[in-house]
């Protein structure tokens, strides 16, 4: 099994719903995102997936979040835009966007600070 990982980032504001503390107030993060896919086999070029494709598809999804107020976006109309929920939304979007490639999304990790992250997997 091959595991391929990319790192990228986006900036956005949010406030947590149903939270009692400072994070219930409007604030922002420079989010870091780590995407890992797995491939059982390599293509003729010796690749599980071209990093260029993985980066492009991830960047496309992040473009819908970058420099936005997350609470106003459709995926977060009824749920808190927590790191956990952002990781799941990105995971599900990448599942759809990469369905035609011979890879499976293993995990999406979203860092809201240098010391705190949430990871979403299907297992």
> Which residues does the annotation mark as catalytic?
23, 67, 112
Q: Are 120 and 84 in contact (CB under 8 A)?
A: yes
- CB contact set of 123 (below 8 Å; sequence gap of 6+): none
> In residues, how long is the chain?
123
C-alpha 7: how far from chain center: 10
């Amino acid at each position: 099994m091959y595991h391929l990982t990319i790192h990228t980032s986006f900036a956005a504001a949010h406030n947590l719903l149903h939270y009692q503390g400072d994070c219930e107030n409007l604030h922002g993060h420079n989010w870091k995102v780590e995407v890992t896919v797995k491939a059982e086999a390599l293509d003729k070029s010796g690749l599980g997936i071209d990093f260029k494709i993985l980066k492009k598809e991830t960047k496309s999804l992040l473009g819908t979040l970058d420099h936005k107020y997350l609470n106003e976006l459709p995926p977060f109309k009824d749920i808190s835009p927590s790191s956990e929920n952002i990781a799941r939304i990105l995971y599900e979007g990448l599942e759809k966007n990469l369905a035609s490639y011979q890879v499976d999304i293993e995990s999406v990790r979203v860092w809201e600070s240098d010391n705190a992250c949430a990871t979403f997997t299907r297992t």
